[in-house]
Amino acid sequence: MLSSKDGLFDKARGRMVGSQDYLTKPFTKDQLLLAVEQHRRVG
């Protein structure tokens, strides 16, 4: 999940709706690539 909100409640709500990861804007290219790689290995 990508969001501009980074509060604890926002992240918890993301998990409640099924997100497996939560990146907040602004994020770096390395953070995005790491998240994609982690989920590529799992799936």
Enter the pTM of the model.
0.69
Torsions phi, psi for 24 (to 5 deg): -105, 145
> DSSP secondary-structure letter at 25?
S
Q: Report pLDDT for 31.
A: 94
- Please name which of 22, 17, 15, 26 lies closest in space to residue 38, comparing C-alpha atoms: 22
How far, in Å, CA of 11 to CA of 8, rounded?
Answer: 5
> Could you tell me the two tokens for 3?
């969001």
Q: What is the pLDDT of residues 7-37, one digit of tens each?
A: 999 999 999 999 988 999 999 999 999 999 9
